[in-house]
Amino acid sequence: MAIEDIKKGLAGVVVDYTAVSKVNPDTNSLLYRGYPVQELAAACSFEEVAYLLWNGELPTPEQLAGFTARERVGRALDPVVQQVIDALPTTSHPMDVCRTAVSVLGARHELAEDSSPEANLAKSVDLFAAMPAVVAYDQRRRRGQDVVAPRDDLDYSANFLWMTFGEDHAPEVIDAFNVSMILYAEHSFNASTFTARVITSSLSDLHSAVTGAIGALKGPLHGGANEAVMHTFDEIGIRSEESLDEAAARAKVWMEDALAKKKKVMGFGHRVYKHGDSRVPTMKAALDKMIAHYGRPELLGLYNGLETAMDAAKAIKPNLDYPTGPTYHLMGFDTPTFTPLFVASRITGWTAHIVEQAAANSLIRPLSAYNGVDERHVP
């Protein structure tokens, strides 16, 4: 086979249809079930967007009431999951904790071996409801804190922040968190979603597919980038006494040095978007509000300095992980918790794809071109 026939990384290969979302790099747009993601982020709760991804339509008020009531029932941390988390060292990565928790939830689910559309939808909603408790408790135990019980009077985002920090948050912080959840929810055939579809294609179960997807998301070329962005900020040095311009100047020097050393700078570039990520302007606006809310202009200086220097040197644009990293930092999340936040959101998109794959399945099994030693025989 000629080398040019091999599509390394499946770049440019269309492997199936999907009705869940449409990414259009030419018009820099992203649609969830036909709706521009920016409109959803401006007008909807994450619960409404989750409902949309699974059901194809935004909920009526009655449907939303039924759905949120169901979500609230599943919010408390499963005691067995808590025991398993407690058995893991606090040195283990939170993504490993997340992956393990999903696996435990799957093995304990009464519909574990039922992959009918109804069972898959029920399991999806259960996972969506259960994940905030897992992510929140894991961060808390690392800080020597106890589990916080969920609150029925709060929506998904407010309750997520409540269970993580055990305190109320300002409406603008809850709103920025809600926006991040909506923007992270779905993005067509990215590496983790494709992983989930591959696992589903063998007729395996939903929790196995999500567990595999979490493994794919962990890598810094994918979801792990939001965490890596914060490591970059830390390496440059966050100096709260510094002005925006001073911070920007230091970030510029750092970026020029990194690019001279041919480093890949996390939070920049995208396999599909080559002229900018459709989700970034909305998330950047949320970050700007958080910078103003917490009074931290020096973080904006680092952000601007890196972005401007990258643009000048290589014209590579930021991706969604670039503004979410500092946003989650400002909200008080520990850096290793950032990618589990992405998991809590993307569970909606992954499971919508799992249902879609199962409904029109074909085992995903590409071919390979052999380039090992020629046939030989055991002496």
Q: How far is the CB of 277 from ligand COA (least distance, A)?
A: 7
Binding mask 194-223 for ligand COA (x = CB under 6 A): ---------------------------xx-
**Contact window for ligand COA (CB under 6 A) among 93-101, 245-253, 281-289, 314-322:** 314-322
Catalytic residue among 169, 187, 270, 353: 270
Rounded-to-integer distance, Cα 296 and Cα 150, Å? 30
**Contact window for ligand COA (CB under 6 A) among 35-43, 155-163, 207-215, 260-268:** 260-268
Rounded-to-integer distance, Cα 263 and Cα 261, Å? 6
- CA 172, 178, 179, 184: dihedral to nearest 10 degrees? 150
User: Is-contact 182 44, C-beta < 8 A?
Assistant: yes
CB-based closest residue to ligand COA: 269
Structure tokens at 177: 């968190």
Under the criterion CB under 6 A, does residue 316 sit at the interface with ligand COA?
A: yes
Helices assigned H by DSSP within the chain: 37-43, 46-55, 61-73, 79-87, 94-108, 117-142, 156-165, 171-184, 191-201, 206-218, 225-236, 244-260, 280-294, 297-314, 321-331, 338-359
Under the criterion CB under 6 A, does residue 180 sit at the interface with ligand COA?
A: no
Q: How many chain residues interact with ligand COA (CB under 6 A)?
A: 15
Rounded-to-integer distance, Cα 138 and Cα 86, Å? 9
Q: Nearer to ligand COA by C-beta: 125 or 230?
A: 230
Candidate residues 94, 132, 269, 336; the one interacting with ligand COA per rule CB under 6 A: 269
User: DSSP string covering 8-71, please?
Assistant: GGGTT------SSEEEETTTTEEEETTEEHHHHHHH--HHHHHHHHHHSSPPPHHHHHHHHHHH
Active site residue 321: yes
Structure tokens at 110: 């009464």
Catalytic residue among 138, 321, 329, 353: 321
Candidate residues 271, 285, 311, 334; the one interacting with ligand COA per rule CB under 6 A: 271
Q: How far is the CB of 267 from ligand COA (least distance, A)?
A: 5
The distance from CA 306 to its chain's CA centroid, rounded to whole angstroms, is 22
**Contact window for ligand COA (CB under 6 A) among 98-106, 138-146, 191-199, 311-319:** 311-319
Structure tokens at 246: 């001073």
**Contact window for ligand COA (CB under 6 A) among 80-88, 108-116, 315-323, 358-366:** 315-323
Rounded-to-integer distance, Cα 68 and Cα 209, Å? 25
Candidate residues 267, 301, 325, 349; the one interacting with ligand COA per rule CB under 6 A: 267
Binding mask 220-249 for ligand COA (x = CB under 6 A): -xx--x------------------------
Q: Nearer to ligand COA by C-beta: 12 or 79?
A: 12
Q: How far is CA 361 from CA 16, 196, 198, 356, 358, in A?
A: 10, 13, 10, 8, 5
Q: Nearer to ligand COA by C-beta: 201 or 319?
A: 319
Q: Nearer to ligand COA by C-beta: 25 or 332?
A: 25
Candidate residues 124, 157, 180, 319; the one interacting with ligand COA per rule CB under 6 A: 319
Q: Nearer to ligand COA by C-beta: 130 or 266?
A: 266
If phi > 0 it is left, if psi is from -120 to 50 it is alpha, else beta; for residue 263 that is beta
CB within 8 A of 335, min separation 6: which ones? Answer: 227, 230, 231, 234, 325, 329
Q: How far is the CB of 261 from ligand COA (least distance, A)?
A: 10
Structure tokens at 5: 């026939």
Candidate residues 52, 133, 236, 266; the one interacting with ligand COA per rule CB under 6 A: 266
Catalytic residue among 109, 222, 329, 353: 222
Which residues are known to be catalytic?
222, 270, 321
Provide the binding-site residues for ligand COA, judged by CB under 6 A: 221-222, 225, 264-271, 314, 316, 319, 321
